[in-house]
């Protein structure tokens, strides 16, 4: 039975991968470097946009991070309406409110300003504006969004999700406790700003968890079956920077160069995973996010070493290459030694940045359902190196009940 199921999952995954490789995915035009946000109003003007909806969250607006931009937009004669009610793991209601405010204020463009939550929310608001007859639920999955969409400018303030260059957006449904994706090439923001000045105040625990999210994107894209030379080259650049700079930035977030490097690493990882996809770490993490609201990056950081233990033998060569890229070993060492060292390094980074080994909110009674949902999300669209059975997924979730330092 399992062999038949495996055959179907693998065949479908191959077919989806074959078709997806033929989709022309755009990449955002980048404004990059500390202070680069200052160039955004002129770029918005050049697109003929007259009034933007600025989508953010209260954490960011209360820090005053958006104030200089709002002032600069006003000086440039661009109207700006702020919607800063986006919640972490943004909800359908967040999107619907944003759509109403966009329409009521006759906006003609969107700025997504924040971490993955405001960026994903803004992407789906934009999709709904141009697809007025579809609800968010009806856009769930791939290729349900028609374009073109209104001009969008993504300003990530975490490093991060890579949402500024990805074709996806994750939405939570508080009613069903599900977290689902909307994916379309039209969702790739045409313009993005990578400005480290916005990230120097990022608290250590968000620096670490969002950095580990970016590392997970790079690793899952690299070990998956849809990886290409293009995605591998971006994933390698991300891994190199994150292994070198993340821990130091967690301990001292004020170094602008390191912050800029990490913003770029997150972008590289985004370019890799938007084409080569993610894997079981994300499948489990999305479901923990949907059910308990566990922060996405934190869940990924905790789950990543467990999934790599599970599939190490099936992606030993890829993990050993990443170990070398990350400066953890030499070419003449065995793939087994190097791949184990790479996983150990992830555990060490987690420990050094105060990331626990388990998920405090997880209830043992929820494990069978979480495993079922995670596998339904992963099969067949995540091209994982080793397929997982229900019992194996439950075993991994059981391990998350033990909260270590």
Ligand X SMILES: NC(=O)c1ccc[n+]([C@@H]2O[C@H](COP(=O)([O-])OP(=O)(O)OC[C@H]3O[C@@H](n4cnc5c(N)ncnc54)[C@H](O)[C@@H]3O)[C@@H](O)[C@H]2O)c1
Least gap, CB of 7 to ligand X (angstroms) = 30
In this complex, which beta carbon is closest to ligand X, that of residue 202 or of residue 393? 202
- Residue found by looking up tokens 């969702």 in the block: 187
Least gap, CB of 64 to ligand X (angstroms) = 10
| Binding partner of residue 85 among ligand X, Fe ion, none, CB cut-off 5 to 8 Å per kind | none
In this complex, which beta carbon is closest to ligand X, that of residue 13 or of residue 210? 210
| Binding partner of residue 210 among Fe ion, ligand X, none, CB cut-off 5 to 8 Å per kind | ligand X
Q: Outline where DSSP puts E strands in 90-222.
A: 109-114, 141-142, 152-156, 168-173, 178-183, 191-194
Greatest distance between any 2 Cα atoms in the chain: 66
| Binding partner of residue 160 among Fe ion, ligand X, none, CB cut-off 5 to 8 Å per kind | ligand X
Q: Is residue 265 a contact partner of residue 352, using CB atoms and an 8 Å limit?
A: no
In this complex, which beta carbon is closest to ligand X, that of residue 287 or of residue 320? 287
Q: Is residue 101 a contact partner of residue 55, using CB atoms and an 8 Å limit?
A: no
Structure token digits, residue 47: 């697109």
Residues that bind Fe ion (CB under 5 A): 213
Least gap, CB of 297 to Fe ion (angstroms) = 7
DSSP 8-state symbol, 398 = H
Least gap, CB of 281 to Fe ion (angstroms) = 8
| Binding partner of residue 60 among ligand X, Fe ion, none, CB cut-off 5 to 8 Å per kind | ligand X
Q: Please give the Cα distance from 208 to 216 (Å, whole number).
A: 12
Least gap, CB of 371 to ligand X (angstroms) = 19
Structure token digits, residue 369: 């359902």
| Binding partner of residue 189 among ligand X, Fe ion, none, CB cut-off 5 to 8 Å per kind | none
Least gap, CB of 12 to Fe ion (angstroms) = 23
Q: Is residue 16 a contact partner of residue 142, using CB atoms and an 8 Å limit?
A: no
DSSP 8-state symbol, 140 = -
91, 137, 179, 211, 219 from 300: Cα distances, Å: 20, 25, 15, 10, 11
In this complex, which beta carbon is closest to ligand X, that of residue 17 or of residue 156? 156
| Binding partner of residue 163 among Fe ion, ligand X, none, CB cut-off 5 to 8 Å per kind | ligand X
Q: Please give the Cα distance from 48 to 45 (Å, whole number).
A: 5
| Binding partner of residue 114 among ligand X, Fe ion, none, CB cut-off 5 to 8 Å per kind | ligand X
In this complex, which beta carbon is closest to Fe ion, that of residue 109 or of residue 297? 297
Residues that bind ligand X (CB under 6 A): 57, 59-60, 63, 88-89, 114-118, 120, 157-158, 160-163, 166, 168-170, 198-199, 201-202, 206, 210, 213, 289, 296-297
> Is residue 54 within a helix (H) or strand (E), and if so which, with residue range?
strand 51-55
In this complex, which beta carbon is closest to Fe ion, that of residue 249 or of residue 266? 266
Question: End-to-end CA distance of the chain, in Å?
Answer: 40
In this complex, which beta carbon is closest to ligand X, that of residue 120 or of residue 236? 120
Query: Closest CB to Fe ion belongs to which residue?
Result: 213
| Binding partner of residue 162 among ligand X, Fe ion, none, CB cut-off 5 to 8 Å per kind | ligand X
DSSP labels, 59-122: HHHHTTTTHHHHHHHHHTT-EEEEE--PPSS-BHHHHHHHHHHHHHTT--EEEEEESHHHHHHH
Least gap, CB of 361 to ligand X (angstroms) = 16
In this complex, which beta carbon is closest to ligand X, that of residue 201 or of residue 380? 201
Least gap, CB of 131 to Fe ion (angstroms) = 25
């Amino acid at each position: 039975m399992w062999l038949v199921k495996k055959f179907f999952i693998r065949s479908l995954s191959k077919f989806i991968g074959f078709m997806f490789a033929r989709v022309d995915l755009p990449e955002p035009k980048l404004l990059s470097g500390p202070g680069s946000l200052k160039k955004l109003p002129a770029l918005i003007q050049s697109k003929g946009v007259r009034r933007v909806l600025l989508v953010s969250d209260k954490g960011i607006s209360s820090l005053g991070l958006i104030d200089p931009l709002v002032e600069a937009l006003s000086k440039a004669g661009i109207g700006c309406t702020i919607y800063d009610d986006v919640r972490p793991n943004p909800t359908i209601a967040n999107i619907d409110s944003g759509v109403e405010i966009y329409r009521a204020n006759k906006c003609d463009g969107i700025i997504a300003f924040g971490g993955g939550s405001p960026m994903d929310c803004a992407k789906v608001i934009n999709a709904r504006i141009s697809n007025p007859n579809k609800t968010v639920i009806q856009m769930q999955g791939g290729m349900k969004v028609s374009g073109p969409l209104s001009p969008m400018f993504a300003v990530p303030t975490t490093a991060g999700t890579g949402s500024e260059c990805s074709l996806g957006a994750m939405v939570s449904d508080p009613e069903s406790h599900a977290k689902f994706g909307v994916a379309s090439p039209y969702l790739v923001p045409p313009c993005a700003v990578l400005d480290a000045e916005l990230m120097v105040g990022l608290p250590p625990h968000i620096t670490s968890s969002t950095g580990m999210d970016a590392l997970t994107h790079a690793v899952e894209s690299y070990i998956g079956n849809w990886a290409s030379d293009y995605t591998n080259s971006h994933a390698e650049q991300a891994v190199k920077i994150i292994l070198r700079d993340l821990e130091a930035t967690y301990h001292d977030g004020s170094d602008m160069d390191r912050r800029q490097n990490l913003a770029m690493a997150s972008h590289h990882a985004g370019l890799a995973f938007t084409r080569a996809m993610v894997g079981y770490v994300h499948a489990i993490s999305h479901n923990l996010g949907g059910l308990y609201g566990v922060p996405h990056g934190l869940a990924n950081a905790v789950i990543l070493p467990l999934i790599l233990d599970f599939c190490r033998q099936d992606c030993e060569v890829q993990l050993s290459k990443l170990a070398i890229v990350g400066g953890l070993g030499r070419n003449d060492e065995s793939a087994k030694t190097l791949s184990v060292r790479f996983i150990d390094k992830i555990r060490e980074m987690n420990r050094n940045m105060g990331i626990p080994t388990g998920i405090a909110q997880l209830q043992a009674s929820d494990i069978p359902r979480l495993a079922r949902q995670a596998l339904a999300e992963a099969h067949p669209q995540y091209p994982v190196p080793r397929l997982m059975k229900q019992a194996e997924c439950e075993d991994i979730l059981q391990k998350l009940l033990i909260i270590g330092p």
